[in-house]
Amino acid sequence: MQPDLFGNEDNRVEYFFVISPPPAVVNAVRRFKARLHERIGLDAINMRSMAHISLFKFLKNDNDSLIISKAAAALKHKTIFDIRLRGADSFLHKDRAGTLYIKIAQPDPVNIVTRLLCTAFSLAYRPSIPHLTIARNVPLPSFVKIDPADFDYHYDFICRHITLLKWNGEKYDVIHEAPLNDTAPA
């Protein structure tokens, strides 16, 4: 998360840009979470977390209309794109915990959207490997029992919008879905 260097800290809230997958993917991830919970016992945060592809979180003054307007302007020329989910993998966090996720076969369009939005909000773009999380921050003793091959998943969908979430103190609320351009450039 990146701080708002020019705002009033008392009025700052956390915004979060994500790609929301279709119901078929949401349901598959929910089943994977249930399977993991039976095997290793997932915490409540992992069990409640909806399937999504994280772009980035940031703190800004509480001004939904300004955030929505900037996002719309940043994305107005970005066309819809395919997301191809291909298998599962995992990574460790400093040898204490790990994350299990579904891989994205062609991450470049996701990175382009992230870069466009970061630029619109004057935030540093930090390259990452886009992925769809199944479970995160799983303690190492449980994490080593997970075989990503058991969560192999393949699904293709078209990303038609970017979802903007806002932290309300207890959970994230969807406040906007910024549409992507549905027509090919001339």
What percent of the chain has pLDDT above 70?
94
pLDDT (tens digit per residue) in 20-44:
999 999 999 999 999 999 999 999 9
Strands (E) in 43-186, as ranges, are 53-61, 81-93, 97-104, 131-139, 154-159, 161-167, 172-179
Does the structure show a pLDDT above 90 at 123? yes
Does the structure show a pLDDT above 80 at 122? yes
Residue among 175, 155, 185, 123 at smallest CA distance from 22:
155
The tokens describing 133, both together, are 């999380």
User: If residue 47 lies in a helix (H) or strand (E), which one and from where to where?
Assistant: helix 44-48
102: region left, alpha or beta (phi > 0 left; psi from -120 to 50 alpha): beta
Does the structure show a pLDDT above 50 at 4? no
Averaged confidence pLDDT in the chain: 93
